[in-house]
Amino acid sequence: MGTAVEASNQLNSFEGANVSSVEEKPTVVFVLGGPGSGKGTQCTNIVRQFGYTHLSVGDLLRAEAESGSENGTMIENMTKEGQIVPSEVTMTLLQRAMKQSGNDKFLIDGFPRNEENRAAFEHGTGIEPVFILFFDCPEEEMEKRLLCRNQGRKDDNIASIRKRFKVFLESSLPVLAYYDAKGKVCKIDAARPVEEVFESVKTIFEPNYV
C-alpha cells in the first residue's frame, strides 16, 4: 500500500479523469480501519474542514438494532458475535441515509466490510469510491483505546473486541488489496496523537478538495 503522499499524487492524476461522471454522482470516500483505530474522530475533523457527510455504518446498524424492527433484532445478534450483517440490509440503511443527508460528498465509515459489501455497493449504486482512507493501527493500541473509552457500548468488552479484530483482518484486508491494486488506498499511521494523524489526513484531502 502506498504512503499518504504517494496516494495523494495518484489521486491528482485520477482527479482529471472522467470528470463528467464524478459530477453526476456523489463523491464517496470509504474509511477503513480496525475497531479503535480512531476513524470516527478523524471523520469528525474531515466533516468540519472539508464539508463531507459522515455516515458510520456501525452507528446506522446500532440505531436500527435499537429500533426494535425485525432487522434490528438480527443485527443485534450478529453484532454480538462479531459477524458481518448481510449486504442488502447495510445497503438499504446507507442509501436511505445518503438520500436524507442533502449532501453529495460522503465519508462512509466502516464499509465495505468484505468483498461482498464492496461488490454490492458498486453494482447497486454505480459509484466507485474516489479513494479509501485506511487508518493503520497496531492491535494492542486499538484494544487499549477500546477498553479505556467510556461510551457504554455493549460490544466494548474484551471477548467482543477480539472477535471484531479477527473479523476485520479476515474480511477487510482483501478489500484493501483490491483497491490498492487500483492505486486508491491512502494509508495513515493511526497510532500517533489525534492532531498528528489529522495533519496527514489533510495532505490527502487538500490537494483533491473540490
Residues in the annotated binding site for ATP: 36-41, 149, 192
Q: Which domains does the chain have, with CATH numbers?
A: 4-208 (3.40.50.300)
* Residues in the annotated binding site for CMP: 117
What is the tens place of the pLDDT at every residue in 12-66?
433 333 333 334 689 999 999 988 899 999 999 999 999 999 999 989 999 999 9
pLDDT tens across 100-129, in order? 999 999 999 989 988 999 999 999 899 999
Q: CB under 8 Å to 164, separation ≥6 — which residues?
A: 34, 35, 82, 155
Known binding site: residues? 36-41, 62, 83-85, 110-113, 117, 149, 153, 164, 192
Sheet holding 105-109, edge to edge: 53-56, 105-109, 27-33, 131-136, 185-189
CA 203 to chain centre: 18
pTM score of the predicted model: 0.78
Annotated binding site for a ribonucleoside 5'-phosphate: 62, 83-85, 110-113, 153, 164
